[in-house]
Amino acid sequence: MIKTERAKIAQKILNKIYPKTPIPLNHKNTYELLIAVLLSAQCTDERVNKVTPKLFQLANTPEKMAKISEKKIYSIIKPCGLGPKKSKAIKNLSVLLVKKHNGEVPANLLALEELPGVGHKTASVVMSQGYGYPTFPVDTHIHRLAQRWGLTSGINVKKTEDDLKSLYHKKYWNKLHLQIIFYGREYCQARSCFGLSCKICKACYPKRKKPIKTKKA
């Protein structure tokens, strides 16, 4: 079975299980989405959704957040982990949005990547879920699954992103990003499937007998 065939199989199964893909991070505007995605690094969406209501009640715009101390921000977001680093990034990016972007979250990937604490993956998620721009954000989970399903060599997350983009038309990228994340959490977890037991793994590699070792991001 060639790679394009495996890609079609995976997409067919994903579409059947997840015909709709709601955005997992609760937000009311693009700024809130940006902050929520930043907080989700090495943290579950569930925990982020428990923390953000209190944070956004305090400040839900760059102008308001820029006036809040890092110490106060940290006291709220501490449960998300990496608190000192994230609170500093939230404070600094808010100040920069006010000074450089008139308090607006830029609808530009490169401009987003220039913000403190915002990497390529975070910027891609904001462009996708905030502005509907076709991107294919790849985190460690998607990186792992794409390897298990034989859709990438897994050299690094950049290569995985490029491989997935080449396999699927851009009109599917945003939906597939979320579908793969949902599927990985429910059926193809890091410490359970190992490329052997979930429906997609078995469909893509019906003769696979040994657990697959995936390369880390």
Catalytic residues: 121, 139
- Average pLDDT, stretch 25-54? 97
- Percentage of the residues of the chain whose pLDDT score is greater than 90: 96
Is there a contact between 117 and 90 (Cβ–Cβ < 8 Å)? yes
Check whether 58 has a pLDDT greater than 90.
yes
Residue 99 · residue 117 · CB < 8 Å = no
pLDDT value at 217 more than 80: no
The pLDDT of residue 167 is 98
Q: By three-state DSSP, how is residue 114 classified?
A: coil
Q: Please, is 5 exposed, middle or buried when counting C-beta atoms within 10 Å of its C-beta (0-12, 13-18, 19+)?
A: exposed
**130-189: pLDDT as tens digits:** 999 999 999 989 999 999 999 999 889 999 999 999 999 999 999 999 999 999 999 999
**Is 216 a residue whose pLDDT tops 90?**
no
What is the architecture, at CATH level 2, of domain 3-21+136-204? Answer: Orthogonal Bundle (1.10)
pLDDT at residue 154, as a whole number: 85
* More confident call, 54 vs 154: 54
* Alpha-helical regions (H) of 78-205: 83-101, 109-113, 120-125, 131, 140-148, 157-167, 173-186, 199-204
Average pLDDT of 66-81? Answer: 97
Q: Does domain 30-131 have CATH number 1.10.340.30?
A: yes
Q: What is the pLDDT of residue 134?
A: 98
Closest CA to 66 of 101, 106, 33: 101
CA distance 201 to 6: 9
Are 3-21+136-204 and 30-131 equal in CATH topology?
no
The per-residue pLDDT of the chain, averaged, comes to 96
pLDDT(75) > 90? yes
Digit-coded pLDDT (tens) for 93-127:
999 999 999 999 999 999 999 999 999 999 999 99
Q: What are the structural domain ranges in the chain?
A: 3-21+136-204, 30-131
**Whole-prediction pTM value?**
0.94
**Percent of the chain at pLDDT exceeding 70:** 100
**Cα dihedral across residues 4, 6, 10, 13: positive or negative:** positive
Packing angle of the helix pair 157-167, 173-186 (nearest 10 deg): 120
CA gyration radius for the chain?
18
Q: Does position 27 have pLDDT exceeding 80, yes or no?
A: yes
4-26: average pLDDT: 97
What DSSP state is assigned to residue 73?
H
